[in-house]
Amino acid sequence: MPEIRNIDQVYWARLKSGDSEALGYLYETHVDKLFQAAMRLTDNRELAKDALQEVFIQLWNYRKNLAVVNHSQGYLLKVLRNTLVKKIKTEKPTARLIFAESVVCPENNKEDILVRMDNDEENRRRLTDAMSCLSSRQVLILKLHFYEGLSYEQIAERLSMNYQSVNNLAFRTIMRLRNHICAMLLIACTLGFLVL
């Protein structure tokens, strides 16, 4: 591992001297883990992407003032967290609440973090299973609304549909997902997989 850190230090030095390829290296090396971290801090995919992009823009713009960076991942995560906090402060209050609930506090120990990650993974699996019973149009509407942040009016316009049809389809889709997930939980409880 020290070898990778030394390679990173070389690229940080190159970045500081204005080498754009060094920025590209840092981006390619760390972008996936940073995006995963951003998605744990906010449920807004576009906000996460914007914050991530801004991190690397800031690195380039302030490259001459960079201190010596020994741990790239930790440094980039800290910049990302600060960037997300600033962006979320400009968002609506509910986004701030979601963010506040999801931030990993330094007091949390590794076991708490691992349990939370296991729970998140289980929830993702349940949601994926539930979504597999939906039609492609239902999945599309959910993605446009929840991942891209489009309103039902914007979705209706994009899909050339009536607003009320989109609204009705979205409502039925969410109810179907909820019923499917509840049924899966009931089956799991009955079989003894869950302890309530």
Question: What is the overall mean pLDDT for the chain?
Answer: 76
Domain limits, the chain:
2-102, 110-190
- Beta carbons within 8 Å of 51's beta carbon, 6+ residues apart: 38, 42, 80, 83, 84, 87
Rounded CA separation 100/106 (Å)? 13
Residue 13 confidence (pLDDT) = 87
Whole-angstrom distance, CA of residue 54 vs CA of residue 46: 12
175-186 average pLDDT score = 74
The Cα–Cα gap between 4 and 71 comes to 10
pLDDT digits (tens, 9 = 90+) for 77-127: 888 888 888 877 776 544 444 444 444 444 445 555 555 666 667 767 777
**CATH no. of 110-190:** 1.10.10.10
How large is the average pLDDT for residues 166-184?
A: 81
Per-residue pLDDT tens digits for 1-11: 444 446 878 88
The predicted model scores a pTM of 0.45
Domain 2-102 has CATH 3.30.70.600: no
